[in-house]
Amino acid sequence: MVRAMLTPEELQILSTSLGVAGRAVLFSLPVAIAFAWALSRPRFPGKSVIDTIAHLPLVLPPVLVGYLLLLGLGAQSPLGAWLKSAFGIQLAFTAEGAAIATAVMAFPLMVRAIRLSFEATDPGLFEAASVLRAGPWDRFWSMTLPLAWPGVLAGAVTAFAAGLGEFGAVITFASNVEGETQTLPLAINAALNTPGRDDVAFRLALISLTAAITGLVLAEMLQRWARRRLEA
Amino acid sequence: MTLKLREVVVRRGAFRLAADLEVAADGVTVVFGPSGSGKSSLLSAIAGLYRLEVGSIALNARVLEDAGAKVRVPTHERGIGLVFQDARLFPHLTVRGNLDYAEHRRPAARNAPIVMEIARRLEFEDLLDRPVRNLSGGERSRVALARAIVSAPELLLLDEPFAALDGRRRRDFLALLRELSNEQSLPMVVVTHNIDDAAELANDVIAMRDGRVIAYGAAADVMSRPAFASLLDRRDLGARVPAEAVAGGAVAGVWVRADSVLLASERPRGISARHVWEGRVDSIIREDARGVLVSLVTEAGYILSRITPQALADLQVEQGKQAWAVVKAHAL
């Protein structure tokens, strides 16, 4: 059905967007879980540093995030050069680069959702698990994650929906390469800057809006399910 | 099994628990005291959920924690089970999932009843595949107990496990608890503030008040001490009668309230009461204008009866005189 409604160009842009946002979620999810878990712990030294790092992308201009990524991972940087020579991986101006930029920008959203989910679990349950001989790692896998996972999923979906719309960091770090890094917002921007392509921009905007709303509704449904699960 | 608490101090905010005792934890030991006396804190310290500020805890020869030597075996390695007052079933698992959680983590060397068997004994086989959020309070208590038993700990702590049970169910549950302790050779330490539960369950009693242990020993001994009586409400004052005296084998004893004991100066005849015990008046304590406590030493042990000052005068009750204590079966 989607295929019939969209032009090949639009399909290409949508699939680039989905691919970039999907990979972004994949890259940031394990790190976000680790950060969220740490932040849901009681006070420990370095907690405020972790908290700051987790929230930084929220307050930095997206262009600056893209620029910092260029400085850190671009072909001219030591790390970027090493990645290129050792593994043949180039991040700047590629879909992977776009995904990393998107991952960084969506990171705070994800950490927040997952952290809330971790914090909503009753600490008494972990005591109950430990008197049944479950050690800390065991409790993480058998209690923390399963209890929080609808929240984790909701965080991932929110981050995915937000990732579909990431503009500043992506265009700075990955540039606007058709079929590679040209996601929905980049394509809308390109269309708006090209005379006579207003209708293209409008259709892309509708697609973008639909995708975003679908993501949000899905995330809300997951959150509600998560709450119900923990109310036992 | 010996549980040694040496000069233990636990602090939680303004509350301070101090304990120094050696518990010969065989059968069922009841921790009794009013709420806020530190009963639950004592269990949490033994299980390792609360950290000792001072002192040490050892189970048999194994040191579990020693604040001075900075030794601390974490909760999950202590092999001590704990049934929480609020059951704490895992909400993301079914009833069976909760029991399996315990079974999978049980050391292979330890024997324990299989899941089906314990579910049958505690009468919830038909609930095994239910999510736990649909269970009633009483069902939760039973599943929580089953989960702890399946885990086969060396020592099982229970914090007011009968709070959600009532009447008949409660007494069955108490009897079953003693049975399981026996069969599994599983020593239990049970917290309660209910005097009936305490009398029915306890082989031994740890009496607590204001964060301190005020008495420890065999139930028959501790529960007859004046210090123990000071833990009770006026209407709960009474005496522990061993189960044999009332033909109730499944429990350890029965608490007979002074208010439910009639006193007779002659052997009563043609009476519906099932228990008539002959004895001698041991002491007479005038409480106030309305009540006098008369204690008798009878064949069933020590019995307390509350009568009015008027009745005391009419019956001419005196210390050392013969008297009969009369108790309805339904009062037990």
Supply the DSSP string of chain A, one letter for each residue.
-HHHHS-HHHHHHHHHHHHHHHHHHHHHHHHHHHHHHHHHSSP-TTHHHHHHHHHHHHHS-HHHHHHHHHHHHSTTSHHHHHHHHHH----TTSHHHHHHHHHHHHHHHHHHHHHHHHHTS-HHHHHHHHTTT--HHHHIIIIIHHHHHHHHHHHHHHHHHHHTT--HHHHHHT---TTTT--HHHHHHHHHTSTT-HHHHHHHHHHHHHHHHHHHHHHHHHHHHHHHHHT-
- Look at residues B216, B238, B260 and tell me which one is the last residue of a structural domain: B238
Overall domain count for chain A: 1
- Read off the CATH number of the domain in which A49 is found: 1.10.3720.10
Q: Please list every residue in chain B whose beta carbon sits closer than 8 Å to the beta carbon of residue A230.
A: 91
Domain check: are B76 and B140 in the same one?
Answer: yes
- Asked if B281 and B197 sit in the same domain, the reply is no
CB of A128 less than 8 A from some CB of B: yes
Q: Which domain holds residue A46?
A: 2-230
Q: Say if residue B44 is in the same domain as residue B74.
A: yes
Residue located via tokens 């479950």: A134
pLDDT given at position B275: 85
Residues B112 and B209 in one domain: yes
Instruction: Quote the pTM value.
Output: 0.85
Question: A229: which chain B residues are within 8 Å (Cβ-Cβ)?
Answer: 91-92
pLDDT value of residue A7:
86
Least Cα distance to B297 among B224, B228, B243, B209 occurs for B224
What residue type is B235 in one-letter code?
Answer: R
Q: What is the CA radius of gyration of chain B?
A: 22
The pLDDT value given to residue A128: 97
Domain count, chain B: 2
CATH number of the CATH domain containing B93: 3.40.50.300
- Cβ–Cβ under 8 Å, residues A40 and A119: yes
Range of the domain at B270: 246-331
C-alpha pair distances (Å), B36 with each of B16, B205, B212: 11, 17, 11
* CATH code for the domain in which residue B271 is found: 2.40.50.100
Q: From B213, B238, B263, give the residue that closes a domain.
A: B238
Euclidean distance between CA atoms A3 and A9, whole angstroms:
11
- Is residue B108 domain-shared with residue B143, that is, in the same domain? yes
Interface test with A, best of B59, B92, B157 (most A CBs within 10 A): B92
Give yes or no: residues B131 and B256 share one domain.
no
Answer with the one of B238, B258, B284 that is the final residue of a domain.
Answer: B238
Residues B190 and B264 in one domain: no
Same domain, residue pair B114 and B37: yes
Question: Going residue by residue through chain B (332 aa), what tens digit of pLDDT does each one get?
Answer: 899 999 999 999 899 999 999 999 789 999 999 988 999 999 999 999 999 999 999 999 899 999 999 999 999 999 999 999 999 999 999 999 999 999 999 998 777 778 888 899 888 999 999 999 889 988 999 999 999 999 999 999 999 988 777 777 788 888 889 999 988 889 999 999 999 999 999 999 999 999 999 999 999 999 999 899 999 998 999 999 888 777 666 788 889 999 999 999 888 887 877 788 999 999 999 988 888 999 999 988 889 999 999 998 898 888 999 999 998 877 67
Decide if B110 touches A, using CB distance below 8 A.
no
Q: Within this chain, do residues B102 and B134 fall inside the same structural domain, yes or no?
A: yes
For residue B148, which residues of chain A lie inside 8 Å, CB to CB? 131-132
A134 has a chain B CB within 8 A of its CB: yes
Strand order of the sheet with strand B28-32?
A: B71-72, B62-66, B54-59, B3-12, B15-23, B212-218, B204-209, B28-32, B188-192, B155-159, B80-83
Determine whether the interchain pair A131/B86 forms a contact, defined as Cβ–Cβ distance below 8 Å: no
Residues B225, B298, single domain; the answer is: no
Residues B47 and B194 in one domain: yes
The ipTM is 0.89
User: How confident is residue A56, by pLDDT bands cut at 50, 70 and 90?
Assistant: very high
Residues B265 and B308 in one domain: yes
Q: A120 touching B, CB under 8 A?
A: no
